[in-house]
Chains A and B, each alone.
Chain A
C-alpha cells in the first residue's frame, strides 16, 4: 500500500517535473498573451493565447451546455419518474454506457454530424462534440449525489405542500457540493481532451470571434508543437502542457473552496 502510494506520488512528481523543466524556459509572458507568429508547426515566435482562449471557450461552453441538458434528466430520473421505473433504469444504463465510450468515438460521431449538417470544423462543432463527451460525466456524478439525498427530504418537502419542481430545487441545493465536483470533473475532461476536438474544432492561429470559426485548443497545441522537429517548438508544447495543468489546478482548488462555502447548509 505504501509502495503504491509512493509510485503514484512519484509519477505525479515526475510528470510535473518533466513538463515544468522543459516548459519553464518557454513559459514567457509572450506565450500566454500573444497568438502565434509564423504558423503553429514551425513558429517559434508569439504565443498560444489562441489555444488557451479556444480551450476555455470549448470547455466552459460544453460544461454549461452539458449542465443544461443533464440536470433536467437527473431531476426527471430521481424526482419525476417513479422510483425504479424502467425509463429511469434505462436512462441510468445509457449514461453508464456513454460514460465508457472513448472520446475518439465522440470525435468521429461529432465529425459525422458536422458533415451531415454541412458545418465546418468550428467552435460550435467542437462545443457540441465535447458536450456529448461531458454529459454522461455530469449526469452520472449529479445523479449519484441526488440519489444519496435521503427520501425523507422529499417526504418533508411534499408534506409542506411543495410541488415536484419545488422539491427538485431543494434536492439541487442539497447536491451543490456534488454538482460542483461534477462541473470540475467535466471541465477537466473537456479542457484536456484532444480526440473530440481533433476533427471538429479545427485549428487556427487566431482567436475565434464567432461560433462558426474554427479554433485552436491546448491539447492540439501540445500535439502539433510536439510533433515539430524543432526543439524550441517542442519546448513550447511543454509550456502549453504546463498552462493546461495550471488551469486544471486552479479550477480544482476554486471548486473545493466554493463547494465548502456553498454547502454550509447541507444536511
Chain B
C-alpha cells in the first residue's frame, strides 16, 4: 500500500545488529497526519524500526543500516543530513517515561531553550501551553519547580509528551507508550493521541490490539523482522489477507 506524498517513506530498509538480520526489506509509506500502528509479537523488530526513523539506532557499534528512510522526501541517512534538526522533527515517547533530571518547568523548557528561546516570559507561555495541551497544567501548576521525578508514572508520560511537543515536531513516535501505565493514565494518553492526529503524523508501536483498533487509521503487522501486511485498520483486524496476520489477530501468535 502506497500513498501520494507520505510523511515517512521507508525504502528497502535492512538492519543487521551484531550479524543478526533484524529488519528485512522493509518498505512502507507512513501517511501524513494519520495514526499508523505497528503491531506484532515482542522481539519482531517494532522498536528497532521506530528507532530507525529518527536515527537513534546508529549509536551502537555493531548496527548496520541499509536502505533509505525518507522524511518529507529527504533521506535521513543521506550524507548532508543534519541529524539533530532532523530528530527535532520527531517527538519520541518511550515505553517507560524518562523525565530529564530537572524540574517540571525545566523539562518543558529544555527543548525550546536548546533551540534558542531564552526569554523567561516566552518560556512561561510555552510551558503553560504544552502542560495544558497534555492535561497536566491543573495538576502541576503549583509545583512547577518541583522535581519531575516526583510525578506519578502516568503524569511523567504526559510530561514527556508535552516536552516533545514543545520543540514543535511534525511526527510523534510512540513505543508502547502506555505499557507501564495504569488504565486511567492509559486512557488519557490515548485521548491525547486522538486529539493530536489532526496536527501531527503519529506512529505508534503497540502490542494491544484493542488499542490499535481504537486509535489507528492504518496498521502494519510485523513478524520476525518483516512487514507481513499493511492496510487500513479494519482491513488488518477484521479482514486480514495473510495467514500469519489472521493467526496473530485471532491471538494464535503472541
| A interface residues (Cβ-Cβ under 8 A, vs B) | 82-85, 150, 152-163, 166, 170, 173-174, 264-267
Most chain A CB neighbours (cut-off 10 Å) among B59, B84, B88, B102: B59
Query: Please, which residues of chain A bring their CB within 8 A of the CB of B148?
Result: 265, 267
The stretch that binds A, out of B91-99, B125-133, B205-213, is: B91-99
How many residues of B are counted as interface, with CB atoms below 8 angstroms from the partner's CB atoms? 35
Interface check B251, CB cutoff 8 A: no
Beta-carbon nearest neighbor of A160 in chain B: B111
Q: Are A155 and B94 in contact (CB under 8 A)?
A: yes
Q: Which of B147, B149, B163 contacts A160 (CB 8 A)?
A: B163
Beta-carbon nearest neighbor of A156 in chain B: B98
Interface check B85, CB cutoff 8 A: yes
Q: Are B149 and A265 in contact (CB under 8 A)?
A: yes
Shortest beta-carbon contacts, A-B, top 6: A161-B88, A159-B92, A82-B61, A160-B111, A174-B101, A267-B149
Query: Please, which residues of chain A bring their CB within 8 A of the CB of B91?
Result: 159
Beta-carbon nearest neighbor of A264 in chain B: B147
The CA-CA distance from A108 to B98 in the complex, in Å, is 48
- Closest Cβ of chain A to B174, distance in Å, is 11
Q: Which of A84, A159, A265, A266 contacts B164 (CB 8 A)?
A: A159
- Closest Cβ of chain B to A172, distance in Å, is 10
Interface check B60, CB cutoff 8 A: yes
In chain B between 40 and 78, which residues have their CB closer than 8 angstroms to a CB of chain A? 51, 54, 56, 59-62
The CA-CA distance from A179 to B96 in the complex, in Å, is 26
Query: Please, which residues of chain A bring their CB within 8 A of the CB of B149?
Result: 265-267
Q: Are B60 and A173 in contact (CB under 8 A)?
A: no
The CA-CA distance from A170 to B148 in the complex, in Å, is 14
Interface check B160, CB cutoff 8 A: yes
**Would you give the 0/1 interface string for B82-113, flagging 1 where the beta carbon is closer than 8 Å to chain A?**
00110110111011101111110000001100
Q: Are A153 and B110 in contact (CB under 8 A)?
A: no
Q: Which of B56, B60, B111 contacts A161 (CB 8 A)?
A: B111
Query: Please, which residues of chain A bring their CB within 8 A of the CB of B56?
Result: 155, 158-159
Query: Please, which residues of chain A bring their CB within 8 A of the CB of B54?
Result: 158-159
Q: Are B90 and A166 in contact (CB under 8 A)?
A: no
Q: Are A161 and B98 in contact (CB under 8 A)?
A: no
The CA-CA distance from A161 to B60 in the complex, in Å, is 19
Q: Are A84 and B100 in contact (CB under 8 A)?
A: no
The CA-CA distance from A158 to B90 in the complex, in Å, is 10
